[in-house]
Every structure is written in C-alpha cells, then in structure tokens.
Structure 1
Amino acid sequence: MPTDKPQPPVILGRYAGFFSRGAAYVLDRAICFGISFVLTLVINYLLSLFRLDQWLENLSQDAPLTALLALLLSTVGLNLLVNIVYNVGFWTMSGQTPGKRILGVRVMRKDGTRVRLGNALRRQIGYWISGIFYLGFLWILFDNKRQGFHDKIAGTIVTYSWPEGRLRGTFVIERVRRFTGGGSDS
C-alpha cells in the first residue's frame, strides 16, 4: 500500500542575484532614512510644543558633550528601530519590502512558505553579521542558492517573484513596444 506523503510547496522563480538584491537594499535604506527623517521632524515639533526644547537647550549649554552624545544615541536608536520594524514587518507580511517589490524579489523560507516572525528576527540579526566587512553579502555571489549569511542564519531564500516571461526579458521588450507605439515584428 503506497502512502502519499505531503509534498513540499514548489518554489517558483529563480534565486535572486546579488545586484537585484543590492539595489532593493539601497532603495529600502533610502525609504527608511526618509521615515527616520520625518519622525525626527515630528519629535522635534512635539518637543517644541511642550517646551522641552528649551530644557534641552539649557542642558546643551551646561553639558554640551552629554547633549551631543544623547542626540547621537537617540538618532541612531530611532534609525535602528525604524529599520527593524520596516524589515521584519514587511518580511512577515508579504515577503517583500517596497524595494524588493520594485525589483521583483521575494523573501521566503527554504521550504517555500511565508517568513515567520522568528525567521525575520534572525534574518535582521544576520544582516548585522553579514555587514561585518560585507562578507555575508558578498557570499551571495558564490552560493548556489544565492544565500547570504543572513539567509543561512534565518533559513530563508530570496527568489524573483515575476512570471517566467519577465525573467527572460520579454516583459521589458513588450513594454518598450507599447510605449513607442511599435507593434509586433510581423
């Protein structure tokens, strides 16, 4: 009597390469910078609204080094928090940050299922490890599954999420033809 074992989900798409992932990373960092900048403006406005800015100004006159250190730590802390919430949130919700969506790549677990919170947190920690001399990111160039250290730590892979035709370039050619008003080759 044969027993039917459940088959793992089929992973569609090819493993995403270094440059696609790198471009998505740069886009995402720019978005996070913008979010951090806006949050900083809002925080400064709230401080002035409650007149806490005067208290901070007095503190900076009394202990300028302490005030500068506090400003630096709060800025770094805010930026770090924005990056963690942004990455972990998008990875667990859809597997795609806005940068990854634009570049057509998706993060998933090795078995093809959606990234869970634990995977996303390990991947975020892995980002910091991969950032040491950028070796973890450069590893993507040499790995058969295009996994960086952060992917290996989290048990994730990154694939292209576009249909096969888009991967072969036909999508781009069709878009150019439509834009220029060109028809088919016949």
Structure 2
Amino acid sequence: MAEVQEKLEYVGFWARVGATIIDSILILIIIFPILTAFYGTAYWESENIVEGPMDFLLTYIFPMVAIIAFWLMKQATPGKFAISAKIVDAKTGGEPSIGQCIIRYLAYFLSTIPLCLGFIWVAFDSRKQGWHDKIAGTVVVRPKKRDSEVKFE
C-alpha cells in the first residue's frame, strides 16, 4: 500500500472544480430536455422552487442516486474520470463504503451553506479534503504526473 501511495497525489481545488463542471453539464444534458418535455418551456420561467413530482425527482433525487452509484461502482464520477481521480477511504486507501458515500453526498450541503467554504477548504488543506471529505473520511487521489504509468482500473 505504501508503494502505491507514493505514486498517488491528492487532487486539488481547481482540478476538482473542473470535474464538478463536467459532472454538472452531463446531468443538465440529461435532465433539461426531460423537464422541458414534461413541463413545457414555461418551466424555465417559473419562480417555483419545485414544479411538481417529476421536477423533484429529476432535480434532487436523480443526481443524488447517480453520483452515489458512480462512487460505489467506480469510485469516481465522469468528471473525476476525466481528471484521472478517484475517491478512497482516507484511512485505508481502499474503496469507500456505502455509508461513506451517502454521508459524503449529504455533507456537500454542509460544505455549501457557509458561502461554499467547505469546498474552498480543499485549496488550503494538506490532504486536499473538503469538509464533506473530512466528515465522510474520504480523500480524492490520482496518479502523480511523473508516475503516469500508475492507472486506475
């Protein structure tokens, strides 16, 4: 394990922002047309927080299920794949548990509430952990650039 850890690095703030942008775009590509087909173009002019059950399902439940499923199956979302990163247990370096994944997702809300400080924390933390990582006991890692022969399967 120590040999593998020497070939990995913690993933920093800007790379993780890029991964989040990729994930957000992919989710929007999926849900925008469905919401428009279901509610019509008036949906985009509405001031309601939630237009109905399908809106709630697509806007809140679908992203949660999809992200947690990716974390459990591949330890990464498509955005993290794009930057060769994955989520691991902070203590063992192994796969995170289902409990860690659920806690990590729910802790996103805590990281967001105070002006996104929980996410910004990644830029200043020695292990590049956001508050959601610290709460869930996870870290985000990838192969070091000079050791690019280390690949995740």
TM normalised by structure 1 equals: 0.65
Alpha-carbon deviation of 1:92?
Answer: 0.7
- Give CA-to-partner distance per residue, 1:30-62, whole Å, 9 cap, x none: 1111121243256469xxxxxxxxxxxxxxxxx
The match for 1:129 is 110
Q: What is the identity, as a one-letter code, of the residue corresponding to 2:18?
A: A
Alpha-carbon deviation of 1:82?
Answer: 1.9
The match for 2:137 is 155
1:139 lines up with 2:134 in the alignment: no
Query: Which 5+ residue runs of structure 2 have no aligned equivalent?
Result: 41-45
**Match for 1:17 among 8, 12, 15?**
12
Q: SS at the partner of 1:115?
A: coil
Change (3 A) 1:71 1:115: same
The match for 2:98 is 117
Alpha-carbon deviation of 1:162?
Answer: 6.2
The match for 1:101 is 81
Question: Are the aligned partners of 1:90 and 1:96 in contact in 2 as well (CA < 8 Å)?
Answer: yes
- Largest Rg, 1 or 2: 1
Alpha-carbon deviation of 1:78?
Answer: 1.9
Q: Distance in 2 between matches of 1:102 and 1:117?
A: 23
Question: Are the aligned partners of 1:9 and 1:113 in contact in 2 as well (CA < 8 Å)?
Answer: no
Taking only the aligned residue pairs, the percentage that are identical comes to 29
Query: Which 5+ residue runs of structure 1 have no aligned equivalent?
Result: 1-6, 46-64, 168-186
- Give CA-to-partner distance per residue, 1:113-156, whole Å, 9 cap, x none: 11221111000011111112110011111111000000001110
Change (3 A) 1:69 1:18: closer
What is the root-mean-square deviation of aligned Cα atoms in Å?
2.9
Alpha-carbon deviation of 1:87?
Answer: 1.1
Q: Distance in 2 between matches of 1:24 and 1:165?
A: 21
Question: Are the aligned partners of 2:85 and 2:142 in contact in 1 as well (CA < 8 Å)?
Answer: yes
Q: SS at the partner of 1:108?
A: strand
Higher relative helix content:
1
Runs of 4+ aligned structure 1 residues displaced above 6 Å come to none
Question: Are the aligned partners of 1:106 and 1:161 in contact in 2 as well (CA < 8 Å)?
Answer: no
